[in-house]
């Protein structure tokens, strides 16, 4: 098929006419799945996938359809949109929709999000991903090796120049706990939690270095597995991926304002100090009023109570595409209003 015919084919309205019902089907399936498997699973199955497998049959996932719609929109705007007055509203609306899709693409590719849990007086210059777990090896406290848990498979053998041993992976589970089995603590797999953040990943592995070979178990949120080789102390742990910040955030005070006479929170507020090099200043982070600095945005997400200590949970996001929905929304509104105004004038 000639490229020009493909391009013309992409401008056909039949694409949107047949693609949209499938988007709606995915939307409904993904929404219902959330009740049974949680958002994380549902998102991966339906919304962030190119292919959705149904009983061995590959079907287009949300990303494929959105990509198709995006390409079709671009082709239509360039090749087939009549630049005439009666169509100007439709054209502007389509441009807005395209901007929204581009923003979505940019967000999907570039954004990082996670959280930062701080106690009063505590400072931190990194935040941790919500979902991405890593197998981390530390040497005398410094990280020498990391690998995403999602990429690891049972039977994999990890060799690395930085490591004086190799790791043969025996069990990998998304949510697990330790269970006693014949006087030994072993990983026992649990059904995945609906909220992915609550899962505890675990890896059982054999560590060997030619001289000795022994089985170990690393579990998320547990102390690292300690190994001693000569004068060096190695620690092997599973942690959520950490993103470094180019500045530090210290929690000065956590305020919770409640409706009088109740336990219902009216407002949460974290008073933080940002330290960037030699400069530092104080800023509040409130519910619905985030703090933005150097491309990072800090939101007051929730307040955690661990024993007597109250912790502020700040959601941290870096998203270069965040401005797109604002512009797209405005453009689409202008487009639709223009279309309505024009169609009112030309209608009988």
Of the two residues 207 and 272, which places its CB atom closer to another protein in the complex? 272
Interacting positions 289-328 with another protein (CB under 8 A): 289-290, 297, 299, 301, 315-317, 319, 322, 325-326, 328
> Could you say which of 16, 102, 117, 120 contacts another protein (CB under 8 A)?
16
Give the three-state DSSP class for 114.
strand
Of the two residues 151 and 288, which places its CB atom closer to another protein in the complex? 288
Tokens representing 136 are 């981390």
Of the two residues 166 and 297, which places its CB atom closer to another protein in the complex? 297
Interacting positions 130-149 with another protein (CB under 8 A): none
Tokens representing 324 are 């797109």
Give the three-state DSSP class for 167.
strand
> Could you say which of 6, 8, 9, 32 contacts another protein (CB under 8 A)?
32
Tokens representing 140 are 């005398």
Greatest alpha-carbon pair distance for the chain in Å reads: 91
Of the two residues 76 and 163, which places its CB atom closer to another protein in the complex? 76
| 201 contacts 210 by C-beta, under 8 angstroms | no
Q: How many residues bind another protein (CB under 8 A)?
A: 60
> Could you say which of 4, 151, 262, 305 contacts another protein (CB under 8 A)?
262
Q: How far is CA 338 from CA 16, 88, 96, 198, 232, in A?
A: 22, 8, 13, 48, 70
Of the two residues 275 and 297, which places its CB atom closer to another protein in the complex? 297
Tokens representing 36 are 């049974």
Stretch that binds another protein, among 120-128, 156-164, 213-221, 285-293 (CB under 8 A): 285-293
Give the three-state DSSP class for 159.
coil
Check residue 45 and report its DSSP letter: I
Determine whether 203 is exposed, middle or buried from the number of CB atoms within 10 Å of its CB (0-12, 13-18, 19+). Answer: buried
Instruction: Please give the radius of gyration of the chain, using alpha carbons only, rounded to the nearest integer.
Output: 26
| 290 contacts 318 by C-beta, under 8 angstroms | no
Stretch that binds another protein, among 131-139, 185-193, 200-208, 338-346 (CB under 8 A): 338-346
Q: Does 344 bind another protein (CB under 8 A)?
A: yes
Q: Which residues contact 78 (CB under 8 A, 6 or more apart)?
A: none
97/74 Cα distance (integer angstroms):
10
Interacting positions 42-101 with another protein (CB under 8 A): 42-43, 47, 100
Stretch that binds another protein, among 157-165, 229-237, 270-278, 288-296 (CB under 8 A): 288-296
Stretch that binds another protein, among 2-10, 219-227, 245-253, 282-290 (CB under 8 A): 282-290
Hey, which residues does 168 pair with through a beta bridge?
A: 157, 206
Check residue 274 and report its DSSP letter: E
CB of 179 vs another protein, minimal distance in Å: 23
> Could you say which of 210, 223, 260, 277 contacts another protein (CB under 8 A)?
260
Hey, which residues does 292 pair with through a beta bridge?
A: 297
> Could you say which of 1, 4, 5, 14 contacts another protein (CB under 8 A)?
14
Of the two residues 165 and 268, which places its CB atom closer to another protein in the complex? 268
| 86 contacts 342 by C-beta, under 8 angstroms | yes
| 287 contacts 300 by C-beta, under 8 angstroms | yes
Interacting positions 164-203 with another protein (CB under 8 A): none
Which residues here bind another protein, judged by CB under 8 A?
13-14, 16-17, 20-21, 23-24, 27-28, 30-32, 34-35, 39, 42-43, 47, 100, 103-104, 107, 113, 258-262, 264-268, 287-290, 297, 299, 301, 315-317, 319, 322, 325-326, 328-329, 332-333, 336-337, 339-340, 343-344, 347-348
């Amino acid at each position: 098929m000639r490229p020009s015919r493909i391009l013309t084919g992409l401008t056909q309205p039949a694409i949107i006419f047949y693609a949209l019902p499938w988007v709606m089907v995915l939307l409904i399936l993904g929404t219902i799945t959330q009740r049974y498997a949680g958002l994380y699973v549902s998102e991966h199955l339906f919304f962030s996938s190119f292919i959705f497998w149904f009983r061995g049959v590959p079907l287009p996932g949300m990303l494929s359809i959105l990509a198709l719609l995006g390409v079709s929109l671009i082709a239509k705007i360039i090749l087939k949109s009549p630049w005439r007055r009666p169509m100007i509203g439709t054209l502007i609306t389509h441009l807005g929709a395209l901007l929204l899709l581009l923003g979505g693409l940019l967000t999907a590719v570039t954004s990082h999000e996670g959280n930062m849990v701080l106690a009063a007086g505590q400072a931190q210059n990194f935040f941790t991903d919500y979902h991405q777990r890593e197998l981390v090896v530390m040497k005398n406290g410094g990280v020498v090796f990391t690998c995403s848990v999602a990429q690891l498979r049972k039977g994999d053998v990890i060799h690395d120049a930085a490591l004086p041993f190799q790791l043969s992976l025996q069990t990998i589970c998304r949510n697990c706990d330790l269970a006693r089995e014949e006087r030994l603590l072993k990983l026992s797999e649990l059904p995945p939690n609906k909220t992915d953040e609550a899962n505890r990943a675990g890896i059982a592995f054999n560590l060997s270095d030619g001289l000795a070979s022994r089985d170990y178990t690393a579990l998320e949120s547990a102390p690292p597995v300690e190994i001693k080789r000569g004068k060096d102390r190695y620690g092997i742990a599973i942690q959520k991926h950490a993103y470094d910040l180019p500045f530090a955030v210290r929690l000065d005070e956590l305020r919770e304002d409640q409706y009088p006479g109740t336990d219902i929170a009216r407002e949460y507020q974290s008073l933080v100090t940002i330290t960037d090099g030699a400069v530092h200043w104080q800023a509040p982070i409130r519910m619905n009023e985030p703090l933005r600095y150097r491309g990072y945005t800090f939101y007051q997400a929730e307040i955690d109570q661990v024993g007597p200590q109250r912790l502020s949970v700040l959601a941290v996001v870096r998203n270069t595409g965040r401005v797109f929905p604002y512009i797209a929304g405005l453009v689409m509104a202008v487009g639709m209003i223009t279309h309505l105004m024009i169609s009112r004038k030309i209608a009988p």
